[in-house]
Structure 1
Amino acid sequence: MGEIVLAAKITHVPSMIISEQPGPHQGCRDAAINGLKQLGDMARELEVDTFIVLDTHWLVNAAFHINGNRRNEGVYTSHEFPHFIQNLSYDYKGNPELSQSIAGKAVAKGINVMSHEVPSLDLEYGTIVPMRYMNKPGDIKVISIAAWCTRHELEDSRRVGEAIAEAVKESDSRVALLASGSLSHLIWENRKVDDGLFTISSEFNKQMDLRVLELWQQGDFKTFLKILPEYAEKCNGEGGMHDTAMLFGALGWDQYEGRIETITPYFESSGTGQVNVLFEV
């Protein structure tokens, strides 16, 4: 019987890449990078064999989609931030059997979910960037699930999360489930973005982010889930916060009673609010 043995809300900010490079911003995202590395070390200690990444940089307009390739390899340059992310090589084995099972479980719940084995279906940077730090040797399998969902209901994403948990339970996999996306996500307007690398664009969004983290620390997930739709809309949640809805769906939604551990404290990045937070499973 399989198990989700690690669950986390994680950052994938592209400034982590420039943080690695010589120049004025070298080291600027060490805390975020080290937090992802710490989570990767935890995954190995827990004998994780598959990362499932809920990727808010994989945009879909119809249905839910899973990259179920047996292997993903390539060289990635971001269309959005080619000045930050360019020529990143990646090579990860996939888990098509588990991918197909997740899709099947979701379809049985009335949700249109498809798993694809298409070699030219590349990974997006919401998967590639965290895997760079969490899965450096590339020895742990990777499943990527689209979580930038433009015409989807959060309730459907909750059911996708349930399907993930059910499919994992029926498998023989030990899984780390990662909601890869920010909290609030109102990127600075273009004329201010270069000066806003380390600040948030809205004090309202920041205060909402901090309140959400407070609710998580208090274990008041019921209240958080009640406000999630408005929070996602009014605070420009990345990908509509479908990654977060999937994560909580897999954890039991409003029945979840675990504790959280802040791995990387809240930080501001190019207008957005970011964290690495571990959820007890």
Structure 2
Amino acid sequence: MGKLALAAKITHVPSMYLSELPGKHQGCRQAAIDGHKEIGARCRELGVDTIIVFDTHWLVNSAYHINCTEHFKGVYTSNELPHFIRDMTYEYDGNPQLGHLIADEACTLGVRAKAHEIPSLELEYGTLVPMRYMNSDRHFKVVSISAFCTVHDFADSRRLGEAIKTAIEKYDGTVAVLASGSLSHRFIDDQRAEQGMNSYTREFDHQMDERVVKLWAEGRFPEFCEMLPEYANYCFGEGNMHDTVMLLGLLGWDKYQGQVEFVTPLFASSGTGQVNAVFPLPAEA
């Protein structure tokens, strides 16, 4: 019987890669990088063999998709922000067995999910950025799941999370799940981009994110789950926050009672709100 060992909501801001490079922004995201490394270290200590990433940079217009090919290798430049991420090399191993298990369980629940082993289906930076800091030695296998869902219902994303929990239980191994996406996600306007690297676009979003962080820290998920659709809408949640819906579907939705640990506290990046947050599992809560 498989085991879910760790669940987290994480940032993947491209300024983390920029933070590595010489220049005026060097070191600007060291706290976020350190948070990723800490989560990766915890996964190693827990015996995790595979990391599932809900990637809010993988945009899909029909069905839910699971990238679980045997091997990933390439050089990535962001077509969205090529001045942030350029020529980033990567190489990871996939987990076709687990990917197909997830798709099968999701279809059983009526969710239109498809697992793919297509070498030319590349990973997006919502997966590549955290794997850079957690998995540079290819210690973990990787399964990436589309979470920028443009025409999808929250109820289906929630059911997908439930299916993933069942698939993990049927899998012979130990798994971590990462919801890779922001809290609020209203990008700052272009003329203010440079001075807005470390600030919010709107104070409204900042105050909403502070409230959400407080609810999570106090384990108040009935309130959060009730407000989530409006929060995702009014605060422009990344990928409409389908990654968060999937994560909470996995954890029990509004029945989840864990008091979230913020490995990297709330910070602003180019107008958006970001965290690295570990969601304690029921045995630990």
User: TM-score, normalising length from structure 2?
Assistant: 0.98
2:200 equivalent in structure 1: 200
Question: How far has the Cα of 1:189 moved from its partner?
Answer: 1.4
Count of aligned positions? 281
Q: Distance in 2 between matches of 1:56 and 1:143?
A: 14
2:48 equivalent in structure 1: 48
Question: How far has the Cα of 1:194 moved from its partner?
Answer: 2.2
2:275 equivalent in structure 1: 275
Residues 242-281 of structure 1: pairs in structure 2 closer than 5 A? 242-281=242-281
Q: Distance in 1 between matches of 2:194 and 2:242?
A: 28
Residues 26-175 of structure 1: pairs in structure 2 closer than 5 A? 26-175=26-175
Q: Distance in 2 between matches of 1:138 and 1:127?
A: 13
1:227-255 Cα offsets, whole Å, 9 max, x none, are 00000000000000000000000111111
Q: Distance in 1 between matches of 2:197 and 2:253?
A: 34
Q: Distance in 1 between matches of 2:236 and 2:3?
A: 32
Unpaired runs of 5+ in structure 2? none
Unpaired runs of 5+ in structure 1? none
1:25-78 Cα offsets, whole Å, 9 max, x none, are 111111000000000000000010000000000000110000010111111100
Equivalent residue of 2:121, what SS? Answer: coil
Q: Distance in 2 between matches of 1:23 and 1:191?
A: 20
1:153-192 Cα offsets, whole Å, 9 max, x none, are 1111000000100000011121110000000000011222
1:214 equivalent in structure 2: 214
Equivalent residue of 1:254, what SS? Answer: helix
Q: Distance in 2 between matches of 1:280 and 1:104?
A: 27
Q: Distance in 1 between matches of 2:78 and 2:159?
A: 30
Q: Distance in 2 between matches of 1:68 and 1:138?
A: 15
8 Å Cα contact 2:265-2:276 kept in structure 1: yes
Identity in percent: 57
Equivalent residue of 1:106, what SS? Answer: helix
1:2 equivalent in structure 2: 2
Report the residue type matching 1:50 in the other structure: T
Report the residue type matching 1:123 in the other structure: L
Equivalent residue of 2:233, what SS? Answer: helix
1:63-105 Cα offsets, whole Å, 9 max, x none, are 0000010111111100001111011111111111110010111
2:21 equivalent in structure 1: 21
8 Å Cα contact 2:12-2:129 kept in structure 1: yes
Q: Distance in 2 between matches of 1:127 and 1:42?
A: 18
Report the residue type matching 1:146 in the other structure: S
Equivalent residue of 1:74, what SS? Answer: strand
Q: Which runs of 4+ in 1 moved over 2 A?
A: none
Report the residue type matching 1:188 in the other structure: I
8 Å Cα contact 2:218-2:260 kept in structure 1: no
Question: How far has the Cα of 1:259 moved from its partner?
Answer: 2.2
Query: In the alignment, does 2:230 pair up with 1:230?
Result: yes
User: TM-score, normalising length from structure 1?
Assistant: 0.99
Q: Distance in 2 between matches of 1:229 and 1:166?
A: 25
